[in-house]
Chain A
Amino acid sequence: MKKVIMGNHAVSYGVRASEAKVISAYPITPQTHIVELLSEMCANGQIDAKFIKVESEHSAMAACVGASAAGSRAFTATSSQGLLLMHEMLHWAVGARLPIVLANVNRAVGPPWSIWTDQNDSLSQRDVGWLQIYCESNQETQDTVPQAFKIAEQLQMPVMLVMDAFFLSHTYEIVDIIEKEQVRKFLPPYKPEIKIDTADQHSFGNLAGPENYMELRYMIQEAMDRGLEVIKRVDNEFKEIFGRGYGLIDPYRCDDAEIIFVTSGTVASTTRAVIDDLRDEGIKAGSLKIRVFRPFPIEEVFEVLSKAKKVAVIDRNISFGANGIFYQEIKSALYGRTDIPILGYIAGLGGRDITPKVVREIADKAIGDEHPERYINWIGVKI
């Protein structure tokens, strides 16, 4: 059934269809609608889940950790400061190998206080060990929830679904609602081999000496290495049932492109429109949306970008003292295998709109700029 719903509610419907058993969350703008609708669904019996109200995001994740360790499918949603408060527990979920799914609505970090979008909250959790999938539309957001659970449970790793504040969270779009009866064919009930069980007692999250710690870390990286294949397979399985797939990356008009713009989140849609304009003007341009950020699809990205003559990365984030975070990832993926110039542009921080005009400004600069003098290029800053 198709409905016109906001991005946040698309997540809620995805969770309902995935039949999560424990939902624990603390409200924060712009995420609150997700768990608000889920709490109603719990109350009116649309979903058979325990909804745990907590006093902080740290506790929300801790509750998910406990629920997941006990063998339940666990979900939470948060944003910005809330995600940062969860930081310690995010590590715990990874170290304990718990397949929790978290929806993070990208919101700029304060101070100064901001409720509008940028990616610094989720990207500052880059090295924690969560898989990260950046969504572009409400439909993709909904569909990614059951995908995320399936990926998480197969890898025994937590997955973070990421979406832009307001441009996605509060924007209404047509979504083909998935129902649990269909999703069951795709996502079986969660039955972990290992869980907290009074009949089979173990101590979890216990001490590991130097002789064992590295092996446990090796296994996390090994799961990440397998992750890209698992994500692709899961995406294909989803597509077989629902007819929709999203891939690790999404190249647009890249086959003969001389310049490729790398984007993520909702900026990808805007950029595609600008690519069409450039093509109309005879400029061989293309764009590449990065959907899966962790694990980073190095080979897939190289495959697309290595054919171009120039790459421009649009970052709605910044690693202070370095540059755009996607920019670094792209450089790292291509390093030593090609010498095409890679240009980095910082735009749209704190929810400043990245309109087609802004993307065009970036395009004009990138096309004319063979070897930028500045390692970092700010777009639209009042200097």
Chain B
Amino acid sequence: MVKKIEFKSYKEMPIRPMTLGSMMWNLTGSWRNVRPFYEFKTSPCILGCPTNENIQRYIYLVNEGRHEEAWRTIIDNNPMPAVTGRVCFHPCMTKCTRKDFDEAVNINAIERSLGDMGLENGDWMKKAKASRKEKVAVVGSGPAGLSCAFYLARQGYPVTLFERDKALGGVLRWGIPEYRLPNDVLDRVIGQILDSGPIVVKPGVKAGADISIDELKKEYDAVFLGLGLMSSRSLGIDGEDGKGVESGLEFLRRVNSGAKVDPGAKVVVIGGGNTAMDVARCALRAGSEVTVVYRRTRNEMPAIAEEIEEAEKEGVAFHFLAVPKELIRKGGKLARVIFQKMELGEPDDSGRRRPVPVEGKTFEMGVDRLFTAIGEQADLQGIDGPVETVWNLVKTGGETGETSDPRIFAGGDVVTGAASVVEAIAAGRKAAERMGRMLDGEPEPAAEEPKTVGIEDMNTDYFIHSKRNPVPRIPVDKAKAGFSEINTGFTDELLASEAERCFSCGVCNYCDNCWIYCPDVAIKRHEDEYEFDYDYCKGCLVCVFECPRNAISIREEGK
């Protein structure tokens, strides 16, 4: 350590107050009563994502031009960003801090860009080898099953994937119209997942019928049930099994299989969810005049907001606060439907206000075809029994999908009822991880409450207001004329411009502010991190205040 210079007379001193040697002997860190330290928080978007994609990280990597690493970051939590980038209801964006500043970052569109890059760059996906002897069966090739198979194969478990249809994809294939998710994209996504590891496919095999659960248990060390929901719920009115009334799901299945459909001149769709929107817009494309009838109001509609807006733009009519009461047929054909008018009453279990009939108030509509889209049901033939069920859904112990049988796991809509693609992906991944631990005899990790941040924690002086870049799309006229994909995806420029809008909430992105502003040069900058020099950090906390994103925390010394 450098020593202090002792002066015997003022004549030895320089005329100016200045150092003659080093001042490093003065360990000013001893003055500090508050200690700053780097502590990265979990960005709110990550907590908003059901499968906890590391959104902050992959957008940071996009900004660095490291697209492959960005894609790899998504793949750690979601094997199909090309799918979710198109169809996800993106709750991440609802949590985005930026929405409290101007507009949420278009995370969904960034995810799609990376997903598409992953499809274009076949060598990005590294193939996992079978390194475990335990075999696993995954039943159902929808988002939950594909996700579960992917994360099991990644761990080295040989996976056999059962699907009752000939084609894989489940609801992704037959439930989502091509204008939202083109078949060729889905085919490539599924191909990439199947290529990623030791996965064998058995299509056309219905578990619970063609092969029993017991047989599966005999052959495999663990089983995952990702059965999804297979049939529309019925309306519960007379004559709904007759002509002119059809399950929305069946209609979508026919449309998506490429079959020619002719629903008739006047179509009514009953329901307010995504299936109702898909059915309405497919019928519109088949040339029908379409009205969606929903028993509550627009505010309570469970469909993705963008889907409602698109449907409206394309010309779908909406009629709220009504339910079908009576079907009137003429000459065996559906002619008219009498609707009961409803009003909103007290909130139900879901927190939405319950629709109740307005006594004596009805109206009629001329209808050629009525589609039901008021919810879907599971087909639990051969399942109910081997595993415990509740409300016609598989009962699980928690997020990781344990059923009443310790070797059987389940996830996705068959557990939750109608939910979302991303929630099914999350369930499949978490179950795969849990199954791995079960087969390894590893204990469950303790749950940690993540620290997060909000707009009040940001130093917004460092951010410039900017509008969200919307996803480019084809015109409405062109969209409603066929099944071409509506959203065309970001260009490279738009991707870069949108990624730059990310605040990187709670996580350092090496902006250098702390390093620049430290008045005591007490922050060292390394290749990809900063380090406090506590010998000289006085605890002034300028770094904490100048960090735009709250990546530095503080604690009192001695506490």
Contacts and interface: CB of A to CB of B under 8 A. Distances in A.
Given A212-B7, A215-B7, A194 B14 contact: yes
Nearest to B26: A207
A216 B19 CA distance: 13
6 contacts: A96-B16, A194-B14, A202-B19, A218-B10, A219-B13, A219-B15
Nearest to A193: B15
B10 A202 contact: no
A62 to B, nearest CB: 16
B15 A212 contact: no
A202 B17 contact: no
Given A215-B10, A219-B10, A204 B17 contact: yes
Contacts of B13: 212, 215-216, 219
A207 B26 CA distance: 10
Contacts of A219: 10, 13, 15
A96 B17 contact: yes
B398 to A, nearest CB: 60
A97 interface: yes
B23 interface: yes
A203 interface: yes
Secondary structure of the B contact surface, majority rule: loop
A66 interface: no
Interface residues of B, number: 14
B23 A97 contact: no
Given A215-B7, A218-B10, A206 B23 contact: yes
A202 B20 contact: yes
Contacts of B19: 202-204, 206
A205 interface: yes
A97 B20 CA distance: 16
Interface residues of A, number: 18
A219 B18 CA distance: 14
Contacts of A95: 17
B17 A156 contact: no
A208 interface: yes
A249 B418 CA distance: 99
A194 B16 contact: yes
Contacts of A204: 16-19
Secondary structure of the A contact surface, majority rule: loop
Contacts of A218: 10
B15 to A, nearest CB: 5
Given A215-B7, A215-B10, A194 B18 contact: yes
Contacts of A215: 7, 9-10, 13
Given A96-B16, A212-B13, 4 more contacts: A202-B20, A206-B19, A207-B23, A211-B6
A192 to B, nearest CB: 9
Nearest to A222: B10
A212 B9 CA distance: 10
A206 to B, nearest CB: 5
Contacts of B17: 95-97, 204-206, 208, 216
B433 to A, nearest CB: 55
Interface string B1-44: 00000110110011111111001001000000000000000000
Q: Report the 3 A-B pairs with minimum CB-CB distance, sorted nearest first.
A: A215-B10, A203-B19, A202-B18
Given A202-B20, A203-B23, A207-B26, A156 B7 contact: no
Nearest to B9: A215
Contacts of A194: 14-16, 18
A193 B9 CA distance: 20
Contacts of B15: 97, 156, 194, 219
A208 B14 CA distance: 12
A134 B6 CA distance: 41
A208 to B, nearest CB: 6
A156 B15 CA distance: 8
Interface in B79-112: none
B221 to A, nearest CB: 69
Contacts of B7: 212, 215
A42 B518 CA distance: 36
A194 B20 CA distance: 11
A339 B528 CA distance: 79
Contacts of B18: 194, 202-206
Contacts of B23: 203, 206-207
A202 B10 CA distance: 19
Contacts of A207: 23, 26
A193 to B, nearest CB: 8
B290 to A, nearest CB: 64
A240 to B, nearest CB: 28
A220 to B, nearest CB: 9
Interface string A116-132: 00000000000000000
Nearest to A201: B19
A102 B510 CA distance: 44
A217 B15 CA distance: 10
Interface string B282-320: 000000000000000000000000000000000000000
Nearest to A69: B16
A46 B23 CA distance: 44
A219 B7 CA distance: 14
> Which of B7, B16, B17, B18 has most chain A Cβ within 10 Å?
B16
Nearest to B10: A215
A263 to B, nearest CB: 35
A293 to B, nearest CB: 24
A206 B15 CA distance: 13
> Which of B9, B14, B15, B20 has most chain A Cβ within 10 Å?
B15
Contacts of A212: 7, 13
B193 to A, nearest CB: 59
A25 to B, nearest CB: 24
> Which of B14, B17, B20, B26 has most chain A Cβ within 10 Å?
B17
Interface string A179-216: 00000000000000010000000111111100110011
Contacts of A216: 10, 13, 17
B432 to A, nearest CB: 59
Contacts of B14: 194
A116 to B, nearest CB: 39
A18 B14 CA distance: 27
A207 B14 CA distance: 14
A128 B13 CA distance: 22
B39 to A, nearest CB: 31
B26 A97 contact: no
Nearest to B6: A211
Interface in B117-164: none
B442 to A, nearest CB: 56
Contacts of A208: 17
Contacts of B20: 202
B437 to A, nearest CB: 57
Interface in B218-241: none
B522 to A, nearest CB: 15
A150 to B, nearest CB: 17
> Which of B6, B14, B23 has most chain A Cβ within 10 Å?
B14
B106 to A, nearest CB: 39
A260 to B, nearest CB: 38
Contacts of A211: 6
